[in-house]
Structure 1
Amino acid sequence: METSKNKRKTEARALTKNIKISPHKMRIVIEKIRDCSYVQAQNTLKILPYRACYPIFQLLRSAAANATNNMGLKKELIISRIEVSEGPFSKRIQARAKGRAFCLRKQTCHLTIVLTEPPD
Structure 2
Amino acid sequence: MLKKKKTEVYALGQHISMSAHKARRVINQIRGRSYEETLMILELMPYRACYPIFKLVYSAAANASYIMGSDETDLIISKAQVNEGTTVKKLKPRARGRSYMIKRPTCHITIVVKDISLDEYDEYININYLAQLKKHKWKNKYTDMIYHDMYSSGGVWDKK
Report the TM-score, using the length of structure 1 for normalisation. 0.85
Kindly state the Cα deviation for residue 16 of structure 1 after the two structures are TM-superposed. 1.1
- Runs of 5+ consecutive residues of structure 1 not aligned to the other structure: none
Question: Is the deviation greater in 95-104 or in 74-83?
Answer: 95-104
* 2:86 match: secondary structure: coil
Q: Measure the CA separation in 2 of the matches of 1:97 and 1:34.
A: 47
Name the counterpart of 1:79: 77
1:18 to 15, 19, 40: 15
| Structure number with higher helix proportion | 2
Q: Measure the CA separation in 2 of the matches of 1:66 and 1:93.
A: 40
- 1:48-99, Cα deviation, whole Å (9 max, x unpaired): 0111100000110110011111112222111000101111111122455665
Name the counterpart of 1:45: 42
Aligned pair 1:36/2:33, yes or no? yes
Kindly state the Cα deviation for residue 101 of structure 1 after the two structures are TM-superposed. 3.2
1:57 to 36, 46, 54: 54
Preserved CA contact (<8 Å) 1:77 1:117 = yes
- 1:20-51, Cα deviation, whole Å (9 max, x unpaired): 11111101111111111100000000000111
Question: Is the deviation greater in 83-92 or in 94-103?
Answer: 94-103
- Runs of 5+ consecutive residues of structure 2 not aligned to the other structure: 121-160
Q: Cα RMSD over matched residues?
A: 1.8
* 1:43 match: secondary structure: helix
Q: Measure the CA separation in 1 of the matches of 2:91 and 2:21.
A: 22
Rg bigger for which structure?
2
1:88 to 86, 94, 102: 86
Name the counterpart of 2:99: 101
Report the TM-score, using the length of structure 2 for normalisation. 0.65
Name the counterpart of 2:111: 113
| Number of residue pairs matched by the alignment | 115
